[in-house]
């Protein structure tokens, strides 16, 4: 197959073929009768990949096909579970393939993770890379080892926090930093990437944290074409971990204030978040909405106390008190009293400068019921 690198026409035909095949496989992975042939072809082509002289985009398409093959193999192995045996699946996944499955899977993961360092690829290339990586992380999550399939016990991959941070930087670059020509149809592809990112948090059961997503959620403050995708992401994050979700919202607010120096953006973010939380997070129980708002304010105040205790806190930090005030009517009285206790008994309170302590004390007055 590597001779194709010497003939661009054959190379283009080959890439067109694997593109169509990948699209077909992602629509329907049930091709047990052809798995043996597909496995041999893809494994052989992977071995000769460098000699094919493919472009970056063509290479990323091949890796997406390679990812599909692993998904099919795992599905075939799953079919061998007791009470669900399939002779076709067993024949299609011979012992040799199973023995090398772990090595090949980890090799592909390493290649895809390395691609996260590239910020100047085409949008199409980045889409293929990001989709393949997300699918591989789902395929190798720790939950796979609980299926009772011996061969799959060795293909688990533990996601580290640093990887999640690299993924969000990669995504931000191709969603918000780069400019595209209209003929690239960027919006649809960008929406697909953002949806895939949300699916990772929805379907992966072993991610170490969700707070890196605040770099994406912060864009909810402005009007973008990704409004629906951002709302879907926030709903998934809340379902995955309600406590960390409130931390995501708090960190996004601080990023707007301290990173972007924009009070107007914080106001817009809080206003849009209130509407979103009431409509999407608590459709049947308004009490849950009040709980969410109270937890968000708690996270913001807790972070703020740590910032203000610094010998040289940022000037913008104190402005957060004023920006949080419009949220307080949606915080029940009992929760407000708890927030007052949180602030006044906070370990950092005694370390505040006189000016910062006065700012804190002024805010505490807003937490108390009227008339006190």
The parent domain of residue 366 ranges over 212-371
Task: Please tell me whether residues 248 and 324 are part of one structural domain.
Answer: yes
Is 39 contained in some domain?
yes
Task: Please tell me whether residues 121 and 23 are part of one structural domain.
Answer: yes
Q: Give the contacts of 44 (CB within 8 A, at least 6 positions apart).
A: 1
Give the model's pLDDT for residue 177.
85
Task: Please tell me whether residues 154 and 262 are part of one structural domain.
Answer: no
Per-residue pLDDT band at 51 (split at 50, 70, 90):
confident
Is 85 contained in some domain?
no
Is 86 contained in some domain?
no
Of 94, 93, 168, 108, nearest to 140 by C-alpha is 108
Is 346 contained in some domain?
yes
Q: Residue 204 pLDDT > 90, yes or no?
A: yes
Number of domains the chain is built from: 2
Across 172-180, average pLDDT: 88
Give the model's pLDDT for residue 348.
92
Looking at 177, 208, 239, the residue that finishes a domain is 208
Give the model's pLDDT for residue 345.
93
Is 159 contained in some domain?
yes
Pick 328 or 286 by higher pLDDT. Answer: 328
pTM: 0.89
Taking only the tens place, the pLDDT of each residue in 103-140 is: 888 899 999 999 999 999 999 999 999 999 999 999 99
Give the CA distances from residue 111 to residues 144, 295, 300, in Å, rounded to whole numbers and listed in that order: 21, 40, 39
Please, what is the Cα angle at 117 between 112 and 119, to 5 degrees? 110
Tokens of 33: 């009768």
Across 190-216, average pLDDT: 96
Taking only the tens place, the pLDDT of each residue in 345-369 is: 999 999 898 888 998 999 999 888 7
Strand ranges (E), the chain: none
Task: Please tell me whether residues 262 and 309 are part of one structural domain.
Answer: yes
Across 315-344, average pLDDT: 89
Task: Please tell me whether residues 196 and 217 are part of one structural domain.
Answer: no
Task: Please tell me whether residues 12 and 35 are part of one structural domain.
Answer: yes
Looking at 191, 208, 225, the residue that finishes a domain is 208
Between CA 36 and CA 91 the distance in angstroms is: 8
Task: Please tell me whether residues 189 and 244 are part of one structural domain.
Answer: no
Give the model's pLDDT for residue 286.
77
Is 88 contained in some domain?
no
Burial label, 314 (beta-carbon count in 10 A; 0-12, 13-18, 19+):
middle
Q: Residue 265 in contact with residue 256, Cβ under 8 Å? A: yes
DSSP for 93-151?
Answer: S-HHHHHHHHHHHHHHHHHHHHHTT--SS-HHHHHHHHHHHHHHHHHTSGGGGGG--GG
Per-residue pLDDT band at 83 (split at 50, 70, 90):
very low
Give the model's pLDDT for residue 310.
84
Looking at 186, 208, 230, the residue that finishes a domain is 208
Task: Please tell me whether residues 156 and 219 are part of one structural domain.
Answer: no
Task: Please tell me whether residues 318 and 233 are part of one structural domain.
Answer: yes
The mean pLDDT of the chain is: 86
Is 66 contained in some domain?
yes
Across 39-54, average pLDDT: 88
Q: Residue 47 in contact with residue 2, Cβ under 8 Å? A: no
Percent of the chain with pLDDT over 90: 56
Give the model's pLDDT for residue 202.
97
Residue 95: alpha-carbon gap to chain centroid = 35
Task: Please tell me whether residues 228 and 316 are part of one structural domain.
Answer: yes
Q: Residue 257 in contact with residue 263, Cβ under 8 Å? A: yes
Task: Please tell me whether residues 126 and 219 are part of one structural domain.
Answer: no
Per-residue pLDDT band at 338 (split at 50, 70, 90):
very high
Q: Residue 280 pLDDT > 60, yes or no?
A: yes
Give the model's pLDDT for residue 184.
65
Task: Please tell me whether residues 19 and 152 are part of one structural domain.
Answer: yes
Q: Give the contacts of 111 (CB within 8 A, at least 6 positions apart).
A: 63
Over its C-alpha atoms, the chain yields an Rg (Å, rounded) of: 25
Is 87 contained in some domain?
no
Give the model's pLDDT for residue 2.
47
Pick 139 or 35 by higher pLDDT. Answer: 139
């Amino acid at each position: 197959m590597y001779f194709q690198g010497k003939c661009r026409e054959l190379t283009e035909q080959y890439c067109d073929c694997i593109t169509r095949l990948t699209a077909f496989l992602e629509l329907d992975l049930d091709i047990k009768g052809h798995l043996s042939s597909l496995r041999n072809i893809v494994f052989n082509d992977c071995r000769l990949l460098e000699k094919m002289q493919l472009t970056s985009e063509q290479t990323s398409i091949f890796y997406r096909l390679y990812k599909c093959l692993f998904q099919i193999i795992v599905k075939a192995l799953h079919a061998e579970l007791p009470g669900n045996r399939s002779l076709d699946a067993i024949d299609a996944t011979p012992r040799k393939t199973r023995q090398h499955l772990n090595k090949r899977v980890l090799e592909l993961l390493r290649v895809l993770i390395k691609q996260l360092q590239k910020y100047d690829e085409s949008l199409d290339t980045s889409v293929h890379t990001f989709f393949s990586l997300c699918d591989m992380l789902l395929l190798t999550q720790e939950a796979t080892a609980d299926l009772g399939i011996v061969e799959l016990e060795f293909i688990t991959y533990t996601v580290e926090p640093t990887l999640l941070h690299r993924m969000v930087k990669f995504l931000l670059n191709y969603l918000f930093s780069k400019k595209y020509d209209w003929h690239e149809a960027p919006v649809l592809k960008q929406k697909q990437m953002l949806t895939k990112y949300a699916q990772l948090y929805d379907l992966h059961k072993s991610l170490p944290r969700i707070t890196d997503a605040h770099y994406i959620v912060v864009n909810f403050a402005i009007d973008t074409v990704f409004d629906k995708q951002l709302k879907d992401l926030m709903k998934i994050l809340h379902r995955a971990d309600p406590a960390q979700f409130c931390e995501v919202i708090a960190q996004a607010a601080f990023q707007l204030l301290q990173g972007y120096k924009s009070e107007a953006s914080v106001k817009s973010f809080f206003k849009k978040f209130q509407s979103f939380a009431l409509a999407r997070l608590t459709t049947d129980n308004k009490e849950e909405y009040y709980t969410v708002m109270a937890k968000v304010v708690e996270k913001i105040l807790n972070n703020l106390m740590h910032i203000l205790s610094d010998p040289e806190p940022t000037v913008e930090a104190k402005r957060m008190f004023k920006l949080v005030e419009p949220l307080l009517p949606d915080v029940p009285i009992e929760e407000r009293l708890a927030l007052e206790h949180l602030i006044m008994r906070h370990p950092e309170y005694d370390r505040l400068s006189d000016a910062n302590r006065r700012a804190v004390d002024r805010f505490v007055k807003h937490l108390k019921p009227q008339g006190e």
